[in-house]
Amino acid sequence: MHHLLEKLNWRYATKQFDPNKQVGDQDLEIMQRSVRLAATSYGLQPFRVVMVNDPEVREQLKSAAYGQSQITDASHLAVFCAKTDMSPEYVDDYMARLATARNLPISAVEGFGNTIKGQVDSMDAATITAWNKRQTYIALGHWLIAAAELHIDCCPMEGFDAEKFDEILGLKEQGLTATVVAPIGYRSEEDAMAKAAKVRLPLEKLFINK
């Protein structure tokens, strides 16, 4: 089996983490750099990932996640948050970084910036947040695959009260909303789900040839 498929078969949505095992700094940095490289619409990166290190805060978040133990037992807790807006200033900042990175005069990227601002102008607030959330899930995909590659366990989680997460983490003030949570660490030997067979549609159902 191809190396990548072996890793993806090995991974599973971890239900029980070993609370005594920690992900090393070097591996964590590789995972974070993988997320940084995620593709996003226009390259806007309209998400942030909050790493929750405070055990007391993690206890509060567990209550807001229906008591799911991964929130407190995993080595690291990443809360993927979507931006709730897309301001002209944010786009301008991106244009400035784009011009610098590619050694272009700002005038060369002005048209691109105006295209983005024009599209954003035609969207209402809910549509902008939904757009940003879609980008956030692409980043989650990178996080999941990077974890598998590094033999790190992960559990993508939507089973939480986003409003409570936003409140506990003070996200609203930062123009963010909790979208999907992804603790990482190492599976507990007691997690029976580690050996559960994968349930997936066959390729011919998943891919429709026209």
Residue ranges binding ligand FMN (CB under 6 A):
12-13, 15, 68, 155-159, 180, 198
Closest listed residue to residue 140, CA positions, set 129, 153, 156: 156
- Nearest 5°: the CA angle 183, 189, 193 is 65
**8 vs 98 by CB, closer to ligand FMN:** 8
To ligand FMN, the closest distance from the beta carbon of 196 in angstroms equals 7
Cα–Cα distance, 78 to 74 (Å, whole number): 10
**28 vs 74 by CB, closer to ligand FMN:** 74
To ligand FMN, the closest distance from the beta carbon of 198 in angstroms equals 5
To ligand FMN, the closest distance from the beta carbon of 45 in angstroms equals 20
**28 vs 155 by CB, closer to ligand FMN:** 155
* Residue 185 structure tokens: 């660490």
To ligand FMN, the closest distance from the beta carbon of 21 in angstroms equals 19
- Nearest 5°: the CA angle 176, 169, 166 is 50
**167 vs 191 by CB, closer to ligand FMN:** 191
Kind plus residue range of the DSSP H or E element containing 120: helix 110-121
